[in-house]
Amino acid sequence: MMRCAIRALLPAALATVVLAGCSSQSGGGDTGKNGDGAPSKAAESGAVEKGVTLGAPGSACELPVTFDLATGWKPEAVEVDPGSEFAELGQQGSATMVCEIDAKPAGNIGYIRVWQAEGSGTAPRAALEDFVAGDANASAASYEVTEAGAVAAAEVTYTVRTELSDERKKERAFAVATPEGPVVVHLGGLDSQEHEEMLPAYELARNTLKLN
17, part of any domain: yes
pLDDT tens-place string over residues 52-73 = 999 999 999 999 999 999 999 9
pLDDT in tens, 126-181: 999 999 999 999 999 999 999 999 999 999 999 998 777 678 999 999 999 999 99
Residue 33 falls inside a structural domain: no
CB atoms within 10 A of CB 79: 15
Contact yes or no for 132/141 (Cβ under 8 A): yes
* Mean pLDDT for all residues in the chain: 82
CATH number where 124 lies: 3.40.1000.10
* Separation of alpha carbons 125 and 142, rounded Å: 11
Residue 43 maps to a domain: no
Specify the pLDDT at position 46: 55
Beta bridge partners of 76: 100
Q: Please give the helix or strand (H or E) that residue 54 lies within, else none.
A: strand 50-54
Note down the domain range covering 109.
12-23+66-211
Amino acid of residue 34: N
Whole-prediction pTM: 0.79
The tally of domains found in the chain comes to 1
Confirm whether 103 is domain-assigned: yes
Three-class SS state of 179: coil
